[in-house]
A and B are shown apart, each in its own frame.
Chain A
């Protein structure tokens, strides 16, 4: 069990650019989640996959955001035309059905 891995740990980008983050869940975990966390706040749910199917999306996930999990293993979160308000920590978590979520250490995005 190597834990949930996220890459990169930090990303600085200019407003209007596109960014993509990757999450590698714990192997054999068929559930994968994306959360966003801004300074001083708790994490907020963005979206959830079971295997390759995206089963739930938050209203926070605007049309500039897209998440994929093409083979039911790793996942990517893309933000198009980034805005300063997108600056946050993006957290990925994985789990098995009926068991607690395991979180990665996140990707910190700064939009200048």
Chain B
């Protein structure tokens, strides 16, 4: 699985958009970008994933650059409950390789009142 690079920490004001970047310059054509988050003392929670098109769900939007070497997770209106460590993971589709995930150290997002 390709390696990812994320900033170790970010701050965001409550109610504003939180934009979390991820670099994955060695991504392969069959690898997806997945985002998980982990709130303190809880297990990781799936947020969203995509291959090359932008994706949106009820939690967030995922913007993938045209060359697929980087992506941004957008939380449109951050709340205090969004304070968590956000992990960007690049891997092949779920059906192959037993679906294991390789987590990095992620970005600690702190939403401030």
- What residues make up the interface of A, taking CB atoms closer than 8 Å to B? 4, 31, 33, 40-45, 48, 50, 55-56, 91, 93, 95, 97-106
Contacts and interface: CB of A to CB of B under 8 A. Distances in A.
Interface in B60-113: 85, 87, 93-95, 98-106
B105 A40 contact: yes
Q: How large is the interface on B (under 10, 10 to 19, 20 to 34, 35 or more residues)?
A: 20 to 34
Contact of A103 (B43, B94, B98, B99): B43
B94 A99 contact: yes
A93 B94 CA distance: 14
Residue picked from B46, B49, B100, B105, most chain A C-beta under 10 Å? B100
Contacts of B44: 43, 91, 93, 101, 103
B41 interface: yes
A90 to B, nearest CB: 10
Contacts of B41: 105
Given A43-B103, A91-B43, 19 more contacts: A4-B43, A33-B99, A40-B105, A41-B105, A42-B104, A43-B44, A45-B100, A50-B98, A93-B43, A97-B94, A97-B95, A97-B99, A98-B93, A100-B46, A100-B49, A101-B46, A101-B101, A103-B45, A106-B42
A31 B96 CA distance: 13
Given A97-B95, A98-B95, A100-B94, A42 B106 contact: yes
